[in-house]
Structure 1
Amino acid sequence: MTADSCLLCRGAAADDELERIEVWQDAHWRLTVSLSSEVAGFAYLEPKRHIRYLHELDGAEAATFGPAIARCMAALKDATGAELVYVYVFGDGIPHLHVHLAPHRAGDALNDQMIRGEIVEEKLPNGMTRFFSTDFPALPRRDLEDAADRVRSLLIGG
């Protein structure tokens, strides 16, 4: 897909079709709020430049991503009275990076389930809650350690 054929690259011209409204933008980022959502303030933060994934951010986009998302999340939280704002990034829908920002309040349509299958909630002695799927058990610890070692090696060497 090219920027010319990308729905999100059309910016405000695509907002009606996507049932959303622009609420903020700067030189690199654009925030829109959904006009068709289960929760008030559900928003999308997207770069103005056509890229598909977070790892493709560069220069000023990369430098401003943290401040932009923090500013947008704070505004969404304050404007909606949300307890927190969930952040979702999926990579297989519209092929233009868009970060879903979902203000969450107790009793609304959102939940913290990220794993498919029957979810078990386990309260740990340290106060944390661990969620796991009975349908998709944890991978063997050695496989997870190997993946962590490969990531470490790519990021810091060694």
Structure 2
Amino acid sequence: MEESCQICRKAKEEIGKSSYYLFETEHFRVRHSDETKIAGYLIIEAKRHFLDLSMAKPEETAEFGEVLAKTTKAVRQATKPMRVYTFSLAEAVPHFHMHVIPRQEDMPKRYVGRGIMSYPLNPPLDCQSRESVSLSITRAFKSL
């Protein structure tokens, strides 16, 4: 764990709180984003602190493909999007994490494709909506 890392600190705070992480494997955790209004916007976070996949251990890279596929399927099953976007930057938070974003049909055109990078972070999705979609996604994970 890296003390100055936001992801490492949050993971330590959430140990034992079953509702924060929707899915977990040996090397990764999946949570709903609490930084945006998009229902079903998930973040896959590495449990071990590293910056990008070039720094991942072989067992982490082997598992990551399965985690990404399962996460994408769960989002698709639960939210019925037109597309599911995935990307990793690790600029604002230098800890490996992957964004998994459902793009619904009614999303304004300025946010489609690369425009998703300029989607407003505020206001965040309200707690009740986030909990509802998180429950649907958790059920989808369990069915896969």
TM bucket normalised to smaller = 0.5 to 0.7
Q: Which runs of 5+ in 2 are unaligned?
A: 118-144
Alpha-carbon distance in 1 for matches of 2:93, 2:76: 26
Structure 2 counterpart of 1:51, which letter? F
The question of whether the paired residues in 2 share the 8 Å contact of 1:32 and 1:45 is answered with: yes
Distance 2:105 2:61 in 1: 33
Contact 2:40/2:101 (<8 A) preserved: yes
CA drift of 1:36 comes to 4.2
1:111 paired residue number: 112
1:12 CA displacement: 5.7
Q: Which has the higher contact order (CA 8 A, sep 6+)?
A: 2
Q: CA deviation at 1:67?
A: 0.6
Match of residue 13 from structure 2: 13
Normalised by the size of structure 2, how large is the TM-score? 0.67
More strand by share: 1
TM-score, normalisation: structure 1: 0.62
Compared CA separation, residues 14 and 6, structure 1 to 2 (3 A): farther
Query: Over aligned residues, Cα RMSD in angstroms?
Result: 2.4
Show the counterpart of 2:134: none
CA distance in 2, matches of 1:70, 1:54: 16
Partner deviation per Cα, 1:66-123 (whole Å, 9 max, x = no partner): 1110001100111111122100211311010111110111122541126x9xxxxxxx
* Larger helix percent: 2
Cα distance in structure 1, aligned partners of 2:103 and 2:67: 19
- Off by >4 Å, runs of 4+ in structure 1: none
Name the structure 2 match of 1:91. 90
Q: Which residue of 2 aligns with 1:30?
A: 29
Residue 29 of structure 2: SS of its match in structure 1?
strand
- Identity, in percent, stands at 26
Q: Which runs of 5+ in 1 are unaligned?
A: 117-158
The alignment partner of 2:20 has SS state of: strand
Larger Rg: 1
**Using the alignment, how far apart are the partners of 1:7 and 1:113 within structure 2?**
25
Aligned pairs, how many? 110
